[in-house]
Structure 1
Amino acid sequence: MRMKSLLHYTENHRYCVYRDFCLSNLDNRMLSNTYQPMVGAFAISLYQLLFQQIPNEKIGYSHTEQQRRLFLTLGLEPSETGRKFLIEQTSKLEAVGLLQTSRIYVPENDDYMYEYELQAPLTPTEFFNTQHLTLLLRDKIGKFAVLSLREELWAKEPDEWSGTSRNKENISVPFYDIFELNTHVIDYELEQALTEVSTTRQPGMQLGEEGDGLNYAEIILRFPRGSANRHFVEKLRFNFEQMGTINYVVNKYDLSVQDLCRLLDEDGIFTPEGDIQVDELQHQANLHFRQGKKRQEQREVLSGKIVAIRQNEENSDGALQLEHAVQMEYYVEVPIQFKTKCDIHQYNMMLRNEPYTKLLKTFFPGSVPDNLIDIFEKIDLSYKLPGEVINVLIHYLMSLLSTNGDQRINRNFVEAIASNMLLKQVNSYEKAVQYIKDQSKVKGKQAAATGGGRARSYGKPVKMKPEIPIVQDNGEDNTVSEEDFEQMMKFAAEIQANKKKGGA
């Protein structure tokens, strides 16, 4: 039983007991021989006392009473010491699977009541197949006592039957071979009556910090009493569908109880009938999520700057940073602006060992633009890319600028490449160099396929212009005779006359 304050668990609080089983002789023997050595005699006495709150021939709930009865029956003082001892005993029962305790908030009294749900003891087979219970019992009574106890609880099969299980045949008769049900007539009255008297119950909710969802009690405790939406929130107590929707939004956007209460207090979240506007709730939750994410990134950037400053101070004080060598197969070419400053060995060592802040300064004659510093700070502190991978990314971007004058470096472009590196798990210098080499090969193939242009076919066949044959001079004399020329002139005159007639 997890209890933050002893004032929430006193002899004045009410309680009830629930169970859906009865104890047999074997169960009683399991309680006394296996469970009692693990949790102690007082915890088993508490279990028996709670069991007796309901008649043996019945299952279900007991009457609601004050916990004072438990304190007096067990001989405990209703003080802080007695409360701590009772919480300790219930916790032992919960740990071994004999009890589940739930706390129920009652808005009318603005207080709690407690429900003790008893669980049946495990059968000998189930108990000794549960490893942690068997090991705990071994630690309490010893290994040989555990083996002896198991033999006492298990009746062996006769010797004449041993080894004959392979010849066992199941000859049992199934239900529908003997009985026939009249399924053509549906008795709605019987189904309704069985539903009304059924013993189904709402399962208990875990605490908000540990469970997968929030319950009504956690929301109503923190919701302001003077809010205009207070009566709408109070209706959520028995509206499990709406609570499921709320928990879906809470889980989707990682909201706390305080965040949810703040959103439910906004105007327009509820309809005049009291139903939740799911789209509006998700919209407000998304805005809160994005704002929280942005603030978290800013905090990480600020803390990262502080850590970097401290590391630089420590490195400057004494310990020299260890340099890492670069294998020849992972060398990259020196950019144009570095051709006269260093050779290929020096440049690759700088990429592998220098921080990205110093590498950026070498590319700019003056100060580095603030937008570039912000971009790579986010990649370093939010995306958690290693420093050598960021250096290779900077080299790749500068290579694109030198080879393609139309290329522009902006935040979206750089973050797209960084996110692609994260998806492909590029977390070392060698993987980063291999990544940019693969990207260069892909771009080269695309450029060759499109003829070096920027046109994109997107998978469709490109329609090329048809080739037109060109008349070539073959050296033959193709002069026209006078007779052919006169016929051509007559033909042209006839065409001209026909056009005039058509126009008239």
Structure 2
Amino acid sequence: MKDYHWTELIPGDRYRARCSGILHEFDRKLVTLLYQPLIGTAALGLYMTLWAELEQDRLWGEEHSHHRLMTLTQMNLKSFYAERIKLEGIGLLTSFLRQEDGNRTFYYELQPPLKPDEFFTDGMLNIYLYNRVGNTTYMQLKNFFSDEPPEQAENVTRSFDEVFQSLQPSELSMLNEAESQPDRQFIGEANGREPSLSSSVFDFDLLLDGLSESVVSRKSVTGPVKETIIKLAYVYGIDPVNMKNLLMDALQPDETIDRELLRRYARDWYGFQYGKKTPKLAEINKVQPAADRTVSDQSEPTQEQIMIRQLESMTPYQYMKDLYEGAEPTLADLQIIEEVMLQQKLQPGVANVLINYVMLRADMKLSKGFVQTIAGHWARKKVTTVEGAMQLAKKEHKKYLEWAEGKNKPSAGKRKPVRSELLPDWMKEKEPAQTTHEAQAKSSQDSDLEKEKQKMAEWIKNYKKPPNSES
């Protein structure tokens, strides 16, 4: 829903910070230098604030209200919720909820960052960091968190039994009495947690069906291999058919999958498909956040509500691929959409409306200048929902046509008639009646684009909603 965060959290809810293990100054450097470029300063500030509430060398902080935390971080509730789920998604925070007598208490468990060797071999985080900071800074960070290996030397360390004597039976009985106290959790370090990806990002059923026809046994696709496949599919946009071929290449004589080889082949595949450009933080592979969705499941939705729900539940990449009738969208088109999403901070569903509107009125082509102009207008209007984008497109349609003709303002005297365009169905409800001349012009143009319109209508009719997923 639009105000989804209100159902998840209110300022009066209580919270208590906790740490899964002792955090050190080195962890602070890791979070600041490696994670901050990915999550931003606001999420980093929230992590540091929760960390500051823990007493030195203790695991629990005091209980407070969220209003206090919002005051400390200078965030409103919506911003706080958005930054919190960033920390959850990247693996730095685990949130728990306890409800008792109508009161809610959240436990925010801070997770330590991945150690340098884990981060730089993760296969996902290191790629996103490289894209964000560039080659020079990336290599500087990698060198900062690494050092020269130890020189070769003989290990002459004494073992325990060579130095200490064994205990006497009486001493062991005293120890057993001391160990009989109630269970307690020992304070110590914890391992960092990798970001988790849902299995919905990859169709394993289709992959396994393909494997049954090849030389790769299903037993070879173990749990760790599945995790690697999900990451590679998410980062590089690899479909099950191409993934099957990569698995065959990485298959070893003992019928195991070499995961390092699989990662290398995935990078090579991406380079062959798209050149040496490193994948970005997959803006085009995200769906509309739940907080900015406006249509809930209904038994008898209207045609426009069906369209809104579809645009909310598909990634821009999926939507463009569907418009391409299953073929891969061109890299140029993908870059146009991803660029405006990053620069204008458009939500995925809003980007889908933009694709729908521009491609239908421009003979199924994306004009970079026109896309950027409309995206900038929607960003200035702070459009965050599919419904809001549709309403604004309806309201400003004539203005957009003038922009497409290269006009800033309508001419006072010699005004040329604006050519009629093929429009999405959701825009036609409020279109004014046309003159005879305009109707004739539109009929002529529609005859050339009728096939594309039929494709869109058929797509809407046969659309099958994909599983819900969070951005």
TM band (smaller chain): 0.3 to 0.5
The alignment's TM-score, normalised by the length of structure 2, stands at 0.36
Q: Which has the larger radius of gyration?
A: 1
Higher relative contact order (CA 8 A, sep 6+): 2
The alignment's TM-score, normalised by the length of structure 1, stands at 0.34
